[in-house]
Amino acid sequence: MTTPSTEPWTVLRLLQWTSDFFKSRGSESPRLDAEILLAHARDCERIELYTAFAEVPSDEQRIAFRELVRRRGEGAPVAQLVGFREFYSIPIRVDENVLVPRPETEHLVVEAIDQAKRIAATVADRPLRILDIGTGSGAIAIAIAKNLKDAEVVAVDVSLAALDIARWNVEKQKLSDRITLMQSDLFEALQADAKFDVICSNPPYISQSEYDSLPDTVRNHEPRGALLAGQDGTEIISRILADAPAHLFPGGRLVLEYSPMIADSCKAMAEGSGKWNDIKRIRDLAGHQRILSLGQTA
C-alpha cells in the first residue's frame, strides 16, 4: 500500500500530475494542456512556469486550476477554457459558439494573401476587396486585414452568436474601419452586384458519418453548424462554387478549405462547372489535401 505523499504541490508536481491525468483522458497534448491551464490560473505567461517549478501556487490559484482541469478532463477544449487561441500570431477570443481556429487554416490565409497581393499589382485605383464566408471568430478576416494594410474585408456568418465574438475580436484588433461583419446565409445578404478580388472560406465540410466519429471534445463542445455539411460534407462547398463567380471581379480568386475526404469530389465539381480554371490544391503540414484555390474562368 502506498502512503499519501506529503510533498508540497509545486508548479512542477502539479504539471506532472495533470499531464498524466490528461494523458489518461486521451489528450493529444497533455503536458501543453496542463501548462496552458496552469499559466491561466496563475495569470502568467506559459514560459514563466519554467522558472517557477519549485513555487507552490496560492490556494486561490489551485482552486481555479482544479476547476479548469476538471472541465478539460470532461473534454472541454483548452482554448474555450482560457477563452483564447492564437491564430496567425494573433490572440483570438473564442467561446462555445465558434469553432476554435485550427493551425491548418493558416494555409488558407497564406494562399488568400498571396493571391490578393498578386491581384493588387493589377488594381491601382481602389482598395482590394476580400470576402470571408463563415467567419466564426473572425480569425481569417482579421489575419488577412492585418496583413493587407489597405484591404476592405466583408465577413459573413449565419450565426449571430458567432458574429458577436467576431465583433469583439475585430474591435480588439482595431479593425472595425476595414472589416464589415454581416449576418448572411453564404452570399444571400450581399448586394447582388457586390464584387470581391478574393473570396475565401473555411466552411463546414464534415460528412454525417465523420461527424458521428469525431472525438467528444469536438462534438460536445464546438458548434455543430460550424462543422457538419450534409450527408457527404460537400453541401456548403457546392453552393459556394456555384454562387461565388457572380461576386468575383474578373481575375478574382476563390480559396476554400476542405478535407482530404472530399478533395477529389470538390475538384471534380469545380472542373465540371466550367466556371473555374487554374485549379491549385495545397496540402497541410501533415500532407493532407487542405486548400482548394481557384481562378475564375474569363
For ligand SAM, the binding residues in 95-114 under the rule CB under 6 A are 98-99, 101, 105
Beta-carbon contacts of 135 under 8 Å, excluding residues fewer than 6 positions away, are 141, 155, 156, 157, 162, 163, 166, 181
Helix (H, G, I), strand (E, B), or coil: what is residue 157? strand
**Smallest separation, CB 225 to ligand SAM (Å):** 5
Helix (H, G, I), strand (E, B), or coil: what is residue 122? coil
Comparison of 68 and 133: residue with beta carbon closer to ligand SAM: 133
**Is 150 one of the annotated binding-site residues?**
no
User: x/- site string to ligand SAM, residues 172 to 211, per CB under 6 A?
Assistant: -------------xx---------------xxx-------
C-alpha cell at 143: 489575419
Indicate whether 30 belongs to the interface with ligand SAM (CB under 6 A).
Answer: no
What type of residue is 6?
T
Indicate whether 266 belongs to the interface with ligand SAM (CB under 6 A).
Answer: no
36 torsion bin: left (phi>0), alpha (psi -120 to 50), beta (else): alpha
C-alpha cell at 177: 474601419
Nearest Cα neighbor of 102 from 119, 68, 77 is 77
Comparison of 19 and 202: residue with beta carbon closer to ligand SAM: 202
Indicate whether 77 belongs to the interface with ligand SAM (CB under 6 A).
Answer: no
Quick one: which segment of 130-138, 246-254, 263-271, 281-289 binds ligand SAM (CB under 6 A)?
Answer: 130-138
**Is 138 one of the annotated binding-site residues?**
yes
Beta bridge partners of 255: 200, 293
Separation CA 249–CA 121 (nearest Å): 14
Interface contacts to ligand SAM, rule CB under 6 A: 98-99, 101, 105, 133-137, 139-140, 156-159, 162, 185-186, 202-204, 225-226, 236
